[in-house]
Amino acid sequence: MLNLFYPKAFSGTVVLGDEISDLEWNSCGFDESSNLCYIQLSKLRSKNIPSRKKINQYKESLQLSDGEFLGEFNLLIFDPEANVLITQGNFYGLTTKQISMSLNNLRLRFKDEIEDGKKQMFYSG
């Protein structure tokens, strides 16, 4: 059975060409007082990495380890009553197209997980 409260049970990572979208599990939730759902997606990038710099000193390149990226974040807020999705932009973050692709990919993956869970319950019980 799929457990959404245990992130390892469901991968929130979506490969978008040479970039990666990742669901920030610790930044998802539902605010009961405002009746709003919110999630945060991160764009993981390993290209166009900035340098560190101090005044009157040479710049230092930032070195990333294998599998390490810079995270650029986008907040998404959904109002189920108005059926409106609000996205917070970030210059280096995901584009609206990438957000749409990520959400569609996650929705299809979630749907598959639910179907697999139903099949397992049917065949095991």
State pLDDT tens for residues 79-90: 999 999 999 988
Cα separation values, 78 from 20, 31, 50, 117, Å: 22, 10, 33, 27
Query: Does residue 1 surpass a pLDDT of 50?
Result: no
pTM: 0.78
CA 117 – CA 67 distance, rounded (Å): 31
Bridge partner residues of 87 (DSSP):
76
Residues 6+ apart with CB under 8 A from 51: 59, 60, 61, 62
CA 74 – CA 85 distance, rounded (Å): 12
